[in-house]
Amino acid sequence: MIKKLSPYLKKYRIFAIGAPVAVTIEVILEILIPYLMSKIIDIGIYNKDMNFVLKMGGLMLVMALFSLICGAVAGRFAAVAGMGFAKEVRQALFNKVQEFSSTNVDKFSTASLVTRLTTDITNTQNVLMMMLRMLVRAPVMLICATSIAIYINARLSLIFFTVIPFMAIALYIIMTRAFPKFQQMLKKYDALNSRVQENLIAIRVVKAYVREGYENQKFREAANQLRLTQKSAEKVVVTTMPLMQFAMYGCMIAISWFGGNMIIGGSMLTGEFMSFISYVTQILTSLMMVGMIYVNIVISKASVSRIIEVLEEEIDIKDNDKGLTELKDASVVFDNVSFSYAKDKDNLTLKDINLRIEPGETVGIIGGTGSGKTTLVQLITRLYDVLSGRVLVGGKDVRDYSLKALRDSVSVVLQNNVLFSGTIKENLKWGNQDATDEEIIEACKAAQAHDFIMSFPDGYDTYLGQGGVNLSGGQKQRLCIARALLKNPKIIILDDSTSAVDTATDSKIREAFAKKLKDTTTIIIAQRIASVRDADKIVVMNEGKIDAIGTHEELLRTNRIYREVYESQQQGVA
């Protein structure tokens, strides 16, 4: 797992290596300071050598200051490496998601992708930073402190060798027992939060049906479960502190007794005894730290593996680098196409589609919700790939084109219109980065958007919030159409893109299309018959199949579904 993420640390390698090095120096100095202290006591005081005392004292002071600098440098380096790493991983993830096909996105769901790019990265970066400082510090401290203890007095250091394994085992047991309980607690926590969120979103329903009491009861249950799991998890953890104290105090007493006897027997000096006591704290705290790091690493493991999952996801739709860059003509052919979102032959969204659209033709597609209209057109720009059969554009399989060339020539106005935060002009320029103001205005006029844009005080420089929140549905749709027109496409697809536009404007847009886009193949998915009745041909879709193809008049005569749709929209209009 570490191996997979380590390349992202490359750019900050010096810092990632520097931090542990500085920490090591810091630790060694921290260990040496009590040792020097013992020299002051045993040599300086014993010989009443004031000079020696001052010299050693000065040396200790210098060491402490140097250690301080090392510690600060390590902190800085860890921050640089940790945050740099986070940046690289975030960028890599973001770039990867940009490569994702829609199938890839569907697999993870957008919400989960957002969590992976935000929360999971934050978790990982914090753990890395901690690791850079602690993961080295704790073991180095443990090793150095025990080594110097052995050096000073091997026999007395046996105390540490009894306590360390005992503590290590105890901590291990506590952690392994607590960990699943904490996992469970987090789950209950999520459950509680989603209860609240659900209630918040649906508060009108709750109130309208007078279900406050029922909701309270459901919440109470969730909250109580959380309380119980939390209690049982913390009950385990709470033993660490007193255990630690027992170990520490036990060491102190043992050192006092055995060390005291050694001093009396002449095999140890008072200063050495004193330095031993200060090593007790250092050794045991580093042991605790090792335990803590372990827990944190385990917790972050989930985040790390979720990140790696995205990074390693195989891109469903691969760009054809050596692909064709030019469309011969603007024809579209569906050749025996079947498609399934789940890639499952028994669960087809589109079944045996055969359809021929000539260059410059206008084709309407009509059908109920879930009949496969949107899916059908998404295959043209390779947002998804067919399961079997072929989609041909300009006489060539769409998979033979480079994605950029294909998508630059085919303009889609998606059903879920998305505008981005920025000015209207910035949004429109998505269609063509180099579009001149005249071109923009022309496209907006065709999409019947120019007038309402000009009615805003800032005109084309009006700032849109995320998702274009300050526009009405119809206005958003018209902007999206203008944006698509700016691409100057060979083929344009409107996926239910005028549903919120009134019929009069709708027909004006179609008029403009007919005039401006004479040679452009136009595919219109619509709910309203009026939007497609003038098309060269109309495709009626039903349950993933083409039910009929024909002109308005033909279909009215021959197709039951089309007639029903037509009638459902005509009733009562005198």
User: What is the token pair recorded at 139?
Assistant: 């073991």
Identify which of residues 234 and 354 has a Cβ nearer to other proteins in the complex.
234
Sole binder of other proteins in the list 5, 16, 25, 41 (CB under 8 A): 41
Identify which of residues 388 and 463 has a Cβ nearer to other proteins in the complex.
463
Which of 162-170, 200-208, 289-297, 338-346 is the region at the interface with other proteins (rule: CB under 8 A)? 200-208
Beta carbon of residue 383, minimum distance to other proteins (angstroms, whole number): 6
Q: What share of the chain is helix, strand, coil (3-state, %, to 5)?
A: 65, 10, 20
Sole binder of other proteins in the list 21, 28, 33, 355 (CB under 8 A): 33
Which of 142-150, 155-163, 264-272, 546-554 is the region at the interface with other proteins (rule: CB under 8 A)? 264-272
DSSP code of 503?
H
DSSP code of 131?
I
Within 508-537, which residues bind other proteins (CB under 8 A)? 527, 530
Within 120-149, which residues bind other proteins (CB under 8 A)? 122, 125, 129, 133
Whole-angstrom distance, CA of residue 363 vs CA of residue 551: 10
Radius of gyration of the chain from Cα atoms? 36
Within 451-510, which residues bind other proteins (CB under 8 A)? 466-467, 472-475, 483, 487, 500-506
> Is 568 an interacting residue with respect to other proteins (CB under 8 A)?
yes
Beta carbon of residue 314, minimum distance to other proteins (angstroms, whole number): 17
Beta carbon of residue 462, minimum distance to other proteins (angstroms, whole number): 16
Which of 49-57, 346-354, 509-517, 549-557 is the region at the interface with other proteins (rule: CB under 8 A)? 49-57
Sole binder of other proteins in the list 151, 172, 209, 463 (CB under 8 A): 209
Residue in 144, 129, 151 with CA at minimum distance from that of residue 29: 144
Within 60-79, which residues bind other proteins (CB under 8 A)? 60-61, 63-65, 67-68, 70-72, 74-76, 78-79
Within 348-407, which residues bind other proteins (CB under 8 A)? 368-370, 381, 383, 403-404, 407
Beta carbon of residue 219, minimum distance to other proteins (angstroms, whole number): 5
| Contact between residue 38 and residue 275 where contact means Cβ atoms under 8 Å apart | yes
CA atoms within 13 A on the CB side of 64: 11
Whole-angstrom distance, CA of residue 482 vs CA of residue 451: 13
Sole binder of other proteins in the list 5, 24, 25, 82 (CB under 8 A): 82
User: What is the token pair recorded at 249?
Assistant: 């105090």
| Contact between residue 26 and residue 74 where contact means Cβ atoms under 8 Å apart | yes
Whole-angstrom distance, CA of residue 498 vs CA of residue 507: 10
> Is 333 an interacting residue with respect to other proteins (CB under 8 A)?
no
User: What is the token pair recorded at 554?
Assistant: 């033909």
Site size for other proteins (CB under 8 A)? 164
Sole binder of other proteins in the list 1, 14, 173, 201 (CB under 8 A): 201
Q: What are the DSSP calls for 510-524, one per residue?
A: HHHHHHHTTTSEEEE
Q: What are the DSSP calls for 10-52, one per residue?
A: GGGHHHHHHHHHHHHHHHHHHHHHHHHHHHIIIIIIHHT-HHH
Identify which of residues 260 and 354 has a Cβ nearer to other proteins in the complex.
260
Give 126: exposed, middle or buried? Use CB within 10 Å, 0-12, 13-18, 19+: middle
> Is 197 an interacting residue with respect to other proteins (CB under 8 A)?
yes
